[in-house]
Amino acid sequence: MTDRHDDMPWDLDDDELVRSALMSLREDVSVQPLPEPAFVRARAEGRDEVSGDTVVTLATRRRRSFILLAGVAAAALIATGTGLLVQAGDGTAPPAATSTDSAGEPTMHMLDSTEWSAALGLPVASTVGTAKPDGQCFQTPRSDTWERRVSTLSDGRVVAGQWIGTASGGTNAPTDAIDTAVAQCEKTYTVTQRVTEDLPGDSRFRSWHARGKDGSTYWWVEATRGASTSYLTVAELDGMTYTSEEMRQVAQSALGDVDLTTQSIAP
């Protein structure tokens, strides 16, 4: 496989030289045997036990700053259930947790309940796909491929939602839909903080912190890489508050760059 670049001279001998040089590194890899697969499985399974502790520890830490405002919580429940994060609707079988592009490469990751629990410091009981892809502010474009899941606490309150959109036949992620959703929501909510940041791997993170007239507060988060984007919404329930840094880690988890179950979120 050789891609010529017509603007600059190129020598096929050089091509072979580079290929051989890179292939030679295989010998270094072979010198030290890799661990047995049972070791790798144990590494993963050992983490599962640790991750449970992580969730508990994080939840405990967050409870130290727990400020229960029953009115706010109730308002958040109503706002969440009826609008911003859309109603849970009829649960359907969850889609694949990692979306892939046409080459089968993972592009975006759907957070599961364990990851949301670690991220939010709340016991997220379920994360399920839904047949109702639209929310009050977010209208799923028909021209692109979108998946969606909604996450609820054990009492049924919606605490988070996630959409993953992949451009159909193009290379630009369908972020217009997110811009439109945010613009729509700004008619009802006051945006108090906006963050735009480039992330490693040619990725982009955007977040908005918003407050409703009833005092309920939310984060809207975008993570974009290549032709895919993920839009995540988080309700700050039960006195929980989150920082933009924490939302960036949520975004990085959606990008597949951070494992929230093993990485403690910054206080």
Partner 1 sequence: MKGGEASAEAEFDDFYRSTAQGVVHLVYAATGDLELARDSAQEAFARAWQRWDQVRATDEPGAWVRTVARRIAISAWRKDTNRDKAMERHGEPPSPAGPTVDRVTVVAALRTLGPEVRETLALHYLADMSVEDISRQTGAPPGTIKARLHRGRAQLAKTLTDKEDHDD
- List residues near partner 1 by CB under 8 A: 1, 3, 5, 8, 10-11, 14-15, 17-19, 21-32, 34-35, 37-38, 40-41, 43-45, 47-48, 96-98, 100-106, 171, 200-203, 225-227, 255-259
Minimum gap (Å) between residue 252 Cβ and partner 1: 8
Minimum gap (Å) between residue 176 Cβ and partner 1: 17
Q: Six-digit token pair at 51? A: 């991750």
Q: Which is nearer to partner 1, 156 or 170 (CB)?
A: 170
Minimum gap (Å) between residue 254 Cβ and partner 1: 13
Length of the chain: 267
C-alpha–C-alpha distance, residues 161 and 152, integer Å: 9
Minimum gap (Å) between residue 79 Cβ and partner 1: 33
CB of 240 closer than 8 Å to CB of 260: no
CB of 229 closer than 8 Å to CB of 165: yes
Q: Which is nearer to partner 1, 24 or 67 (CB)?
A: 24
C-alpha–C-alpha distance, residues 89 and 72, integer Å: 23
Q: Which is nearer to partner 1, 46 or 215 (CB)?
A: 46
Q: What are phi and psi of 36, to 5 degrees?
A: -65, 150
Q: Six-digit token pair at 100? A: 């892939």
Minimum gap (Å) between residue 58 Cβ and partner 1: 19
Query: Tell me, what DSSP letter sits at residue 155?
Result: T
Q: Which is nearer to partner 1, 155 or 202 (CB)?
A: 202
